[in-house]
C-alpha cells in the first residue's frame, strides 16, 4: 500500500475512533450509574443530525445556531427519555428497563421514518468547517484534524467534571454504590439526570460531527454506530470513561485498518465489532480497564 | 382426582377436534387474504412461545431470534427449491454443487430447518449464555447480525443479498396451525415438566436453583437451543408463506415484533403469547390503513404515513412495559381446572339453594 | 476415629485484596451438629460459599469425605450430598410450596427431557415418586396443608422452614444452615432447635450451622468454631466457648440472646 493511502487510512481511523469514543462515553457513563444499556443513546446521534439538517436547510439558520440548537434539543430529549421511560422502572426487574430502552430506540427510529422519510438525505456541510488541506502530495479534509481536536477538548472537559467537581464525585459515588449514596443525602435523581445530560450532549456533538464526516443522514444511521460504540465501551471496560475512549479509538482504528489491509473482508466490516465483543465477553469481560463486581450471596 | 384428569383429557381432545373442524372449514371457505393472516399469526404464535420459553420462563434476555429464523428460512428454501429454479436464481455465483440437485419435500425440510437452527443455537449459546442479562442481549443481537452478514456474503450458498425466490408455496391452514399446535403442546409439556420447573427456578433465583442441584449452564443452553429450534421452524414456515427470502427480511424489526408479542401476552404465559400473536398479526394488517392515503368522507385526503404502524407498536410496547408489565395473562395459563372449579362451585351453590 | 464428613484444609478467601477468610481449618464428623459463629462480617457466609462451590478458595483445599471438592460447580457439590439454606431467604417466588421442593428432586432424575415430552410411563412414574417424596417431606414439617400456596405468601417462620425442607429434598449427607433462626422470637427458636434435632436424627444428617442466636447454638451444637475477621479464634464445646476470653472480646461482651 502506498504511503499516502496508508496515511489516509490512518487519518480516517483516528477520525472514526474519535467519533466512536465520544459516543461510547455516553454508554459507559449511563451503564456505570444505573446498569442499563441505553439502546436509545445512539439514536440521539440521528436526532441531532436531523435537527441540524433541518435547521440549516429548512429554517436557513446559520450553521452554528443550527448545531447549537441540535445539541441542546438532543440533550433535552435524552434527559426526558430517562425521566419518562427509565426512572419509573428503577425498582423493576432489569429486563423491564432493558425492554423499555429497546422500545424507546425503536420508537425514535420509526418516528424519524414517518416524519422525515426513510430515504437518506445529504447533509449540508458548512464550508467554514469543512475544507480541503494539502500537504505535499496528500490532501485531506479539515475534519481529520477538527474532529479529533474537538473530541479531545470534550474528553478533557468530561474528565474534569468527573474528577474535580462535586457533581463528578457524586456521580462516581453513585456508580460505585447506589444504595449507600442515596443514604448519604446524594440527590440520586439529579446525579442520574446530569449523567444523561453529559452523555446526550456528547451524542449530539457526535451526531453532528458524524454527519459532517459521512454526510448522509437517514433514520437508521445510529443503529450500527450505536452497537459498535457500546462494544467499544465494553472493550475498554464498561463503567470506565478512559476505557470508553480507548475502546472507541481501538475499534475505529481496527475497523479501518483491517479492511485497508484485507480488502476482501470489507463485506464483513460490520461483523468485526461483534466478533471482538464476543471474544471480550468470553475472555476478559472486565475489558481493558474495567473492574468486575462480585454479587453478594 | 383421577376423574378430574380424565375429564381434562377429554376436554383437550374435544378442543383439538373443534380446532380441527374450524381449520377444515376455514381452508375451504375463507378468502385467501384471511387464510394468509391466519397462517402468519400461526408463525408468530410459534415465535412468541419459543421466545417466551427463553425470555419469560428462563429469564434470559436473548435478542437473537431473528437470526435463527433466518437460518431456518434459508435451510428450508435451499432444500425445497427445484434444481431448475436454483440455476436461474443463483446467477451471480452458482450454488455450491452439493446443494444443486437437492430437492426435499416440505415437512422434512421444516424439521431440518429446525435442527440446523438448533445446532447454531447450541453453538452460540455455549459462549453467549455465560453472560448476564444486558450483555446477553447485546451478544445475541450481535450474533443475529453476524448471521445476517454471513448470509449476505456467502453468495455461493445463499445467493447473498439477492435472496432466494421461487420457494414452493404452502397455503394450507393445516400445515401452519398444525405445526403451531404441535409446538404449543410440546412446549406445554416441557414447561410442566421438571425441566420447566428448573427453567423457572433459574429465572426466579439462579443462585438458589444452583444450590438445589440445577446445573444452570446446561439448562440455559437447553432452553436456548429449544427456542432456536422452534425459531428455525418458524423461519422455514415464513419462507413457504412468502415464497422468497433475503437477508434484510430478518432485521431487528422482526425481533422487536416478537418481543412485543411476548411482553404483551405476558412473559411467562404460553397462552398469552398465542393470544397476543394473533392480536398483533391482525393489528399489523388493520393498521395498514394508517399507512395508506385516507379518504375522509370524500372531502379530505389524509396522506398515508408509512412506518406509522411501527411507531404505534413501539408506543404500545412502552405503554405495556411501563404501566402493565404483566401483559395480558401475566404468568397465568389457560387451564381447564379454572373452568371446572367454577362450574363445581356453581353447582354446589345450586344444590344448596 | 471416624472419617471426617467435611474438612476445610487451611482455606482462605480474598476479594480484591481484602482477606475475608484466612487459613481456616475445620473438621466435621458424622452425626455432629457444628456451630459457626462470629460477629457480623466475620466471613461465615463466605465459608459456606466456599464449601458449596460458589467461591473458589484462593488457598487450601476442601474435602467431602475423601473427595476433593475445592472449586467444583455448586450444582455438582449439591449432587454429591451437601445442601444449604441462605441467610436471606431465597425461595422461588413464582412457584408454590410444593413446586419449590420438587425442584430439589430434579438433580436425582434418571429420565431425560425427551421422555418427558413424550409422556413415557418411565417419566410419569419418576415424577409420581418425586411428588410423593416431596409431599411426605412437607407433611413431616406440617407444611402439607399449604402445598399449593405460593411460597412467598407464607408467613416468615414457615418460609424459613420451607427453605430447610427444600434443602432436605436434595437428599444430602451434610446440611449447611445459614442463620436459620434469624428474626425468630424465643419460642420459635425453641421450636427450631427441636426441629433441627429431629430432622438430623430422622434423615441421618450432619449439620453445620451459622447462627447469632446464642441459645440455639449453645443448645444443640456439639462443637463450635468462632470466626472473627476471617480468622478462627477459638474452637470447642459450648461451655469452653462461652468462657473463652478471645470470644468474649470479639463480641464485645454481647454474648447473649439476640433480638
Q: What per-residue confidence (pLDDT) applies to A168?
A: 83
State percent of chain C over pLDDT 90: 55
Q: Quick check: C91 and B208 CB within 8 A?
A: yes
Q: Quick check: B139 and A281 CB within 8 A?
A: yes
| Distance to chain B for C25, nearest Cα, Å | 23
Query: Phi and psi at residue C154, in whole multiples of 5°?
Result: -75, 150
Q: Is the pLDDT of residue C259 over 50?
A: no
Q: Quick check: C91 and B203 CB within 8 A?
A: no
**pLDDT < 70 stretches in chain B:** 1-2, 290, 292-304, 350-353
CB pairs under 8 A between A and B: 114
Q: What per-residue confidence (pLDDT) applies to A294?
A: 47
Test the C interface: residue of B9, B211, B217, B268 with most C CBs within 10 Å: B211
Please write the tens of the pLDDT for every residue from B97-144.
777 778 888 899 999 999 999 999 999 998 888 887 778 888 898 889
Bigger pLDDT: C116 or B90?
A: C116
Residue of A nearest to C86 (CA): A297
Q: What per-residue confidence (pLDDT) applies to B296?
A: 61
Domains of chain C in start order, with CATH, are: 1-81+174-259 (3.40.50.300), 90-171 (3.40.50.300)
Q: Quick check: A270 and B152 CB within 8 A?
A: no
Query: Which residue is listed with cell 446559520?
Result: A62
Bigger pLDDT: A23 or A131?
A: A23
Residues of B in contact with A278 (CB under 8 A): 127-128, 139, 142-143
The angle at the Cα of C107, spanning B48 to C113, to the nearest 5 degrees, equals 40
Q: Quick check: A294 and C15 CB within 8 A?
A: yes
Using CB atoms, pick whichever of A114, A267, A297 lies closest to residue B311: A114
Q: What per-residue confidence (pLDDT) applies to B173?
A: 87
Tell me the residues of chain B between 291 and 320 that have a Cβ less than 8 Å away from chain C. none
Q: Is the pLDDT of residue C258 over 60?
A: no
Residue of A nearest to B309 (CA): A110
Please write the tens of the pLDDT for every residue from C41-97.
888 999 999 999 999 999 999 999 889 999 899 999 999 999 999 988 999 999 999
Q: Is the pLDDT of residue C150 over 80?
A: yes
Domain residue limits, chain B: 1-30, 31-352
Tell me the residues of chain B between 106 and 125 that have a Cβ less than 8 Å away from chain A. none
Per the prediction, chain C carries an average pLDDT of 89
Bigger pLDDT: C28 or A168?
A: C28
Pairing of strands C6-15, C18-28: antiparallel
Residues of C in contact with B193 (CB under 8 A): 113, 116-117, 123, 127
Bigger pLDDT: B158 or A183?
A: B158
Sign of CA dihedral C194, C200, C201, C203: positive
Sign of CA dihedral A65, A68, A72, A74: positive
Q: Is the pLDDT of residue C231 over 50?
A: yes
What chains are in contact with A, requiring at least 3 Cβ pairs below 8 Å?
A: B, C
Q: Quick check: C109 and B194 CB within 8 A?
A: yes
Test the C interface: residue of B1, B212, B217, B230 with most C CBs within 10 Å: B212
Q: Is the pLDDT of residue C257 over 80?
A: no
Q: What per-residue confidence (pLDDT) applies to B204?
A: 92
Per the prediction, chain A carries an average pLDDT of 84
Residues of C in contact with B215 (CB under 8 A): 73, 75-76
Three-state DSSP at C193 gives helix
Q: Quick check: B311 and A36 CB within 8 A?
A: no
Distance between CA B254 and CA B238 in Å, rounded?
12
Q: Say which DSSP state C87 is in.
A: S
- B59 reaches A (C-beta below 8 A): yes
Q: What per-residue confidence (pLDDT) applies to C252?
A: 62
Q: What per-residue confidence (pLDDT) applies to A297?
A: 53
Q: Count other C-beta atoms under 10 Å from residue C182's C-beta.
A: 17
Distance between CA B156 and CA B149 in Å, rounded?
14
Torsional class of C230: left (φ above 0), alpha (ψ -120 to 50), beta (otherwise): left
Q: Which residues pair with C35 in a beta bridge?
A: C209, C224
Domains of chain A in start order, with CATH, are: 3-283 (1.10.3470)
Cell of B293: 392515503
Amino acid at each position: 500500500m502506498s504511503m499516502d493511502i496508508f496515511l489516509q487510512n490512518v487519518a480516517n481511523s483516528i477520525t472514526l475512533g474519535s467519533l466512536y469514543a465520544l459516543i461510547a462515553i455516553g454508554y459507559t457513563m449511563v451503564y456505570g450509574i444505573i446498569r442499563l444499556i441505553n439502546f436509545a443513546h445512539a439514536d440521539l446521534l440521528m436526532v441531532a443530525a436531523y435537527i441540524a439538517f433541518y435547521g440549516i436547510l429548512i429554517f436557513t439558520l446559520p450553521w452554528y445556531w443550527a448545531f447549537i440548537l441540535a445539541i441542546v434539543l438532543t440533550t433535552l430529549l435524552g434527559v426526558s427519555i430517562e425521566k419518562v421511560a427509565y426512572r419509573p422502572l428503577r425498582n423493576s426487574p432489569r429486563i423491564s428497563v432493558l425492554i423499555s430502552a429497546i422500545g424507546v430506540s425503536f420508537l425514535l427510529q420509526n418516528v424519524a421514518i414517518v416524519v422525515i422519510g426513510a430515504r437518506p438525505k445529504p447533509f449540508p456541510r458548512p464550508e467554514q468547517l469543512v475544507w480541503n488541506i494539502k500537504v505535499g502530495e496528500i490532501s485531506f479534509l479539515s475534519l481529520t484534524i477538527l474532529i479529533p481536536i474537538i473530541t479531545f477538548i470534550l474528553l478533557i472537559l468530561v474528565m474534569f467534571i468527573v474528577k474535580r467537581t462535586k457533581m463528578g464525585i457524586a456521580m462516581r459515588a453513585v456508580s460505585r454504590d447506589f444504595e449507600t449514596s442515596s443514604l448519604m443525602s446524594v440527590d440520586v435523581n439529579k446525579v442520574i439526570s446530569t449523567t444523561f445530560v453529559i452523555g446526550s450532549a456528547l451524542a449530539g456533538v457526535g451526531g453532528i460531527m458524524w454527519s459532517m464526516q459521512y454526510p448522509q443522514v437517514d433514520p437508521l444511521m445510529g443503529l450500527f454506530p450505536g452497537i459498535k460504540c457500546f462494544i467499544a465501551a465494553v472493550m475498554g471496560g464498561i463503567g470506565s470513561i478512559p476505557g470508553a475512549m480507548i475502546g472507541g479509538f481501538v475499534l475505529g482504528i481496527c475497523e479501518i485498518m483491517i479492511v485497508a489491509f484485507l480488502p476482501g473482508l470489507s463485506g464483513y466490516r460490520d461483523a468485526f465489532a461483534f466478533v471482538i465483543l464476543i471474544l471480550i465477553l468470553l475472555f476478559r469481560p472486565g475489558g481493558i480497564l474495567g473492574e468486575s463486581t462480585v454479587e453478594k450471596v | 382426582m383421577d376423574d378430574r384428569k380424565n375429564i381434562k383429557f377429554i376436554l383437550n381432545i374435544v378442543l383439538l377436534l373443534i380446532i380441527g373442524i374450524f381449520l377444515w372449514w376455514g381452508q375451504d371457505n375463507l378468502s385467501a387474504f384471511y387464510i394468509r393472516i391466519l397462517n402468519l399469526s400461526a408463525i408468530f404464535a410459534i415465535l412468541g412461545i419459543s421466545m417466551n420459553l427463553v425470555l419469560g420462563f428462563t429469564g434470559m434476555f436473548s435478542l437473537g431470534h431473528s437470526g435463527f429464523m433466518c437460518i431456518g428460512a434459508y435451510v428450508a428454501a435451499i432444500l425445497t427449491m427445484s434444481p431448475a429454479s436454483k440455476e436461474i436464481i443463483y446467477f451471480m455465483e452458482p450454488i455450491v454443487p452439493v446443494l444443486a440437485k437437492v430437492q426435499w419435500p416440505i415437512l422434512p425440510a421444516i424439521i431440518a430447518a429446525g435442527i440446523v437452527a438448533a445446532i447454531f443455537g447450541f453453538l452460540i449459546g455455549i459462549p453467549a449464555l455465560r453472560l448476564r442479562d444486558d450483555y446477553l442481549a447485546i451478544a445475541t443481537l450481535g450474533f443475529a447480525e453476524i448471521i445476517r452478514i454471513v448470509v449476505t456474503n456467502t453468495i455461493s450458498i445463499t445467493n447473498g443479498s439477492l435472496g432466494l425466490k421461487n420457494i414452493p408455496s404452502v397455503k394450507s391452514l393445516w400445515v401452519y396451525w398444525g405445526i403451531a399446535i404441535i409446538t404449543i403442546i410440546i412446549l406445554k409439556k416441557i414447561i410442566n415438566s421438571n425441566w420447566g420447573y428448573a427453567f423457572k427456578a433459574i429465572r426466579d433465583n439462579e443462585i438458589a436453583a444452583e444450590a438445589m442441584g440445577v446445573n444452570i449452564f446446561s439448562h440455559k443452553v437447553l432452553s436456548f437451543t429449544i427456542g432456536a429450534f422452534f425459531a428455525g421452524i418458524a423461519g422455514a414456515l415464513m419462507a413457504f408463506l412468502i415464497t422468497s427470502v433475503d437477508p434484510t427480511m430478518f432485521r431487528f424489526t422482526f425481533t422487536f415484533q416478537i418481543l412485543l408479542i411476548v411482553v404483551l401476552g405476558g412473559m411467562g404465559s404460553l397462552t398469552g403469547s398465542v393470544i397476543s400473536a394473533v392480536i398483533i398479526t391482525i393489528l399489523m394488517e388493520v393498521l395498514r390503513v394508517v399507512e395508506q392515503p385516507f379518504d375522509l368522507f370524500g372531502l379530505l385526503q389524509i396522506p398515508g404515513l408509512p412506518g406509522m404502524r411501527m411507531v404505534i407498536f413501539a408506543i404500545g410496547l412502552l405503554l405495556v412495559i411501563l404501566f402493565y408489565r404483566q401483559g395480558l395473562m401475566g404468568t397465568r395459563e389457560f387451564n381447564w381446572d379454572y373452568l371446572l372449579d367454577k362450574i363445581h362451585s356453581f353447582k354446589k351453590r345450586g344444590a344448596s339453594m | 476415629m471416624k472419617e471426617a464428613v467435611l474438612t476445610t484444609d487451611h482455606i482462605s478467601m480474598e476479594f480484591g485484596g481484602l482477606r475475608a477468610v484466612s487459613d481456616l481449618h475445620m473438621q466435621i464428623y458424622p452425626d455432629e451438629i457444628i456451630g459457626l459463629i462470629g460477629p457480623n462480617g466475620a466471613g461465615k457466609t463466605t465459608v459456606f460459599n466456599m464449601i458449596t462451590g460458589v467461591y473458589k478458595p484462593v488457598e487450601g483445599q476442601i474435602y467431602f469425605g475423601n473427595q476433593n471438592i475445592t472449586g467444583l460447580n455448586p450444582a455438582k457439590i449439591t449432587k454429591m450430598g451437601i445442601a444449604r439454606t441462605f441467610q436471606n431467604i431465597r425461595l422461588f417466588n413464582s412457584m408454590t410450596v410444593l413446586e419449590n421442593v420438587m425442584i430439589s428432586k430434579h438433580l436425582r432424575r434418571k429420565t431425560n427431557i425427551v421422555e418427558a415430552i413424550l409422556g413415557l410411563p418411565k417419566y410419569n412414574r419418576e415424577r409420581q415418586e418425586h411428588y410423593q417424596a416431596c409431599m411426605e417431606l412437607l407433611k413431616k414439617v406440617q407444611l402439607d396443608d399449604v402445598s399449593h400456596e405460593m411460597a412467598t405468601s407464607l408467613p416468615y417462620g414457615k418460609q424459613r422452614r420451607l427453605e430447610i425442607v427444600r434443602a432436605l429434598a436434595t437428599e444430602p449427607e451434610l446440611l449447611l444452615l445459614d442463620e436459620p433462626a434469624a428474626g425468630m422470637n424465643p419460642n420459635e427458636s425453641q421450636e427450631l432447635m427441636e426441629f433441627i434435632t429431629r430432622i438430623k436424627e430422622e434423615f441421618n444428617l450432619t449439620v453445620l450451622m451459622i447462627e447469632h442466636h446464642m441459645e440455639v447454638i449453645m443448645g444443640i451444637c456439639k462443637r463450635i468454631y468462632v470466626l472473627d475477621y476471617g480468622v478462627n479464634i477459638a474452637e470447642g464445646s459450648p461451655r469452653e466457648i462461652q468462657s473463652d476470653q478471645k470470644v468474649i472480646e470479639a463480641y464485645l461482651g454481647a454474648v447473649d440472646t439476640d433480638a
